[in-house]
């Protein structure tokens, strides 16, 4: 059946359907999916590309014949050839226009139906990604004018999932597209501030980095100015929004100032003077802000009065290990729970934030299917809040230890005559060419996996041992599959945490992914190194 006939039936159904919102939403979604697939159908796009090539070729021929005819107007044969070629060009032009209009109709209808679907029900909220991809694929004033009015009808919380991708399109250049984008983002920030406002400040601070590359980039300057323009508009909504913008700005600056502190100690605690960091220790508890690194449930009603808020921050700060010596704060919320947050400087956390967003979307998919939901298949995630190009905040994952530290002591305990880790690293690192393969095989023979011993030693209760082992195997399987798909690299014992309470693995330092994995100095084909240590011999029941 032709697509036009299908769309015709769906149009009739839209006019006659008198059912509930779910049925309407499903129909809108089906209609949008058909139009979207036709718009991006390779055969149709190839046909349009071929028609364009034919038209351009014929147009060049017509221009050449016209020039020749103007030089020799008495040549009847030349005039006849010009007339025929021009007629064929007009025919090709009409065919190209027909295909372009058909493509445009598919695009407009898909966007219109996706918007209607999002407006009328919540069963197909995943189509927000498809909607925005289509809208951003083609800058068109007619589409922008339509979206300008229709975006207001879609609940703002549905755009939170794609807020980072939309805000990355901010630009200071004037135009209807930017007007629509700023209006949409301003509404989302105003109605869900603590899910979105830090992302806008991160864009505004793109030119405040000490790295000169950020300061001189015209693109980053333009985006920074656009973010400031958005925040200015947000402040003009009412005095409450203006106060919120001012306070968040002061808080972000305070975190950035803390990030550049370079303590001499590492692994120890230091006490920060409360009078010098007044915003954190005095003002923040009064402002009734939630912890930036806590996962705040999205409120469909836009009412966040019941969310836990910060009541106290411990001035005794731990200096964590690492080259940047990040600071670890303890924050007490109104539920009486202490949270820890990491203030990190020296690393671009925007990639980590996007990767955590990807993991959250994977979890949504896994929870939707009965088989994966029954097996509790999830990726353990944490909150990453970029504040500027070289740092931000990271949620501390409780009850976790770097897998390498957790396994190191057991290597010596169970295999006393094995090579030390440092020695293994030296043997492989110092070898070149074919000798490196030989050195690696030598390491495999003299460095045995101990993961099985970890579970037997730490979980003596049979039921706990089995459940923890199963959760470990399943979490590792999920992240391995997802990591392979998205090209997650630089996976080693320090970048994989082990949750001692649940047995799940947590991946950190997610800056190497997608196409970046092929740009690093040492390129690896597998997303996870030391697989033999990570994947013990499980039974089929796992």
Domain ranges (residues) in the chain: 3-220, 236-373+380-395, 400-534
Count of CB atoms within 10 A of residue 434's CB? 8
**CA-closest candidate to residue 235, choices 248, 225, 246, 251:** 246
Between the alpha carbon of residue 246 and those of residues 226, 253, 287, 296, 334, the distances in Å are: 17, 11, 11, 21, 23
Q: Compute the distance between CA of residue 16 and CA of residue 8 in angstroms, rounded to an integer.
A: 13
Using CA atoms, how far apart are residues 103 and 109, in angstroms rounded to an integer? 10
Grouping H, G, I as helix, E, B as strand and the rest as coil, residue 23 is helix
Question: What is the Cα 25 distance to its own chain's centre?
Answer: 27
Beta-strand pair 327-333/310-313: antiparallel
Residues 216, 485: Cα–Cα separation, whole Å: 35
**CB atoms inside a 10 Å sphere around CB 460:** 8
* Structure confidence at residue 266 (pLDDT): 65
Amino acid 213: pLDDT: 46
pLDDT 10s digit of each residue in the chain, 542 long? 455 556 566 666 666 655 556 788 888 999 999 999 988 887 777 787 888 888 888 888 888 888 887 888 777 788 788 788 888 888 888 888 888 888 888 999 999 999 999 999 899 999 999 999 999 988 778 889 999 999 999 999 999 999 999 999 999 888 899 999 999 999 999 999 999 999 999 999 988 755 444 556 888 899 999 999 999 999 999 999 999 999 999 999 999 988 777 777 666 788 888 888 899 999 999 999 999 999 999 999 999 999 999 999 999 999 887 777 889 999 999 999 999 999 998 888 999 999 999 999 999 999 999 999 999 899 999 999 999 988 999 999 999 988 888 888 788 888 888 888 888 888 988 888 889 889 989 988 888 888 888 888 888 899 999 999 999 989 988 998 998 888 888 887 888 999 999 999 999 988 888 766 555 555 454 544 556 677 665 544 44
What DSSP element (H or E) covers 253?
A: helix 239-259
In sequence order, the 6+-apart residues with CB closer than 8 A to the CB of 125 are 118, 158, 161
d(CA 132, CA 441): 50
The span from the CA of 235 to the CA of 241, in Å, is: 5
- Burial (CB < 10 A; 0-12, 13-18, 19+), residue 186, is buried
Q: How many residues can be counted in the chain? A: 542
Instruction: Please state, in angstroms and rounded to a whole number, the distance separating the CA atoms of residues 259 and 277.
Output: 12
DSSP 8-state secondary structure symbol assigned to residue 192:
S
User: Look-up: residue for tokens 């080259």?
Assistant: 323
For residue 134, give the nearest of 162, 158, 176, 154 by alpha carbon.
162
Partners of 310 in beta bridges: 333
Residue 142: partners with Cβ closer than 8 Å, 6 or more residues away: 108
Task: For residue 160, give the H/E element and its range.
Answer: none
CATH 3.30.360.10 applies to domain 236-373+380-395: no
- Rounded CA-CA distance 487/464 in Å is 33
Of 174, 170, 234, 236, nearest to 202 (Cα)?
Answer: 170
Cα separation, 316 vs 269, in Å, equals 6
Convert 329-345 to b/e letters by CB count within 10 Å (16 or more is b). Answer: bbbbbeeeeebbbbbbb
Q: Rg (Cα) of the chain, in Å, rounded?
A: 29
CB 317 within 8 Å of CB 327: yes
Taking the C-alpha atoms of residue 401 and residue 494, their distance in angstroms, rounded to an integer, is 9
Written as six digits, the tokens of 60 are: 């060049």
**Helix axis angle, 403-414 to 451-458, nearest 10°:** 90
Cα separations in angstroms, 459 against 224, 384, 465 = 51, 31, 5
**Bridge-based pairing state of the strands 391-395 and 338-345:** antiparallel
Q: How many angstroms separate the CA atoms of 173 and 223, rounded?
A: 9
Q: Which two tokens stand for residue 325?
A: 């010596």
Which 3 state secondary structure label does DSSP give 394? Answer: strand
pTM value is: 0.86
Which stretch of DSSP H or E encloses residue 341? strand 338-345
Backbone angles phi, psi at 502, to 5 degrees: -110, -20
């Amino acid at each position: 059946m032709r697509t036009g006939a299908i769309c015709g039936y769906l149009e009739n159904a839209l006019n006659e359907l008198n059912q509930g919102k779910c049925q309407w939403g499903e129909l809108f979604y089906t209609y949008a999916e058909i139009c979207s697939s036709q718009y991006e159908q390779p055969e149709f796009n190839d046909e349009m590309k071929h028609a364009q090539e034919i038209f351009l070729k014929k147009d060049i021929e017509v221009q050449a014949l016209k020039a020749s005819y103007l030089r020799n107007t008495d040549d009847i044969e030349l005039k006849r050839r010009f007339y025929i070629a021009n007629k064929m060009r007009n025919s090709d032009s009409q065919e190209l226009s027909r295909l372009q209009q058909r493509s445009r109709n598919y695009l407009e209808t898909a966007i219109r139906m996706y918007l209607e679907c999002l407006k009328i029900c919540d069963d197909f909220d995943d189509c927000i990604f498809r909607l925005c991809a289509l809208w951003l694929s083609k800058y068109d004033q007619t589409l922008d004018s339509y979206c300008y009015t229709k975006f207001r009808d879609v609940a703002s919380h549905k755009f939170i999932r794609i807020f980072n991708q939309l805000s990355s399109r901010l630009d200071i250049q004037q135009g209807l597209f930017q007007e629509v984008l700023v209006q949409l983002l301003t509404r989302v920030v105003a109605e869900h501030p603590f899910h979105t406002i830090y992302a806008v400040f991160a864009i505004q601070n793109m030119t405040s980095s000490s790295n000169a590359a950020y300061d001189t980039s015209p693109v980053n300057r333009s985006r920074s100015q656009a973010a400031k323009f958005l925040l200015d508009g947000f402040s003009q909504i009412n005095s409450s929004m203006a106060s919120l913008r001012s306070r968040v700005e002061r808080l972000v600056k305070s975190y950035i100032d803390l990030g550049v502190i370079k303590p001499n100690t590492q692994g120890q605690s230091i006490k920060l003077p409360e009078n010098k960091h007044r915003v954190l220790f005095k003002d923040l508890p009064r402002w009734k802000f939630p912890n930036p690194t806590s996962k705040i449930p999205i409120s469909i009603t836009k009412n966040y009065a019941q969310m836990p808020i910060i009541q106290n921050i411990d001035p005794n700060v731990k200096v964590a290990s690492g080259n940047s010596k990040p600071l670890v704060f303890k924050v007490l919320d109104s539920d009486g729970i202490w949270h820890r947050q990491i203030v990190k400087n020296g690393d671009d956390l925007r990639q980590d934030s996007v990767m955590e967003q990807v993991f959250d979307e994977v979890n949504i998919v896994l929870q939707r299917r009965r088989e994966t939901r029954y097996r509790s298949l999830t990726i353990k995630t944490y909150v990453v809040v970029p504040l500027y190009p070289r740092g931000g905040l990271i949620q501390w994952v409780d009850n976790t230890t770097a897998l390498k530290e957790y396994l190191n002591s057991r290597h010596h305990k169970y295999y006393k005559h094995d090579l030390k880790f440092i020695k293994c690293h030296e043997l492989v690192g110092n070898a070149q060419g074919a000798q490196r393969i030989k050195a690696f095989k030598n390491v495999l023979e003299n460095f045995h996996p101990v993961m099985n011993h970890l579970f037997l030693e730490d979980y003596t209760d049979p039921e706990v041992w089995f459940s923890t082992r199963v959760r470990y195997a399943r979490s590792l399987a999920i992240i391995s599959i997802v990591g392979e798909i998205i090209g997650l690299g630089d996976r080693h014992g320090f970048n994989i945490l082990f949750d001692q309470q649940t047995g799940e693995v947590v991946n950190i330092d997610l800056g190497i992914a997608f196409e970046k994995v092929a740009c690093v100095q040492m390129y690896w084909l597998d997303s996870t190194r030391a697989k033999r240590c990570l994947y013990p011999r499980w039974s089929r029941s796992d």
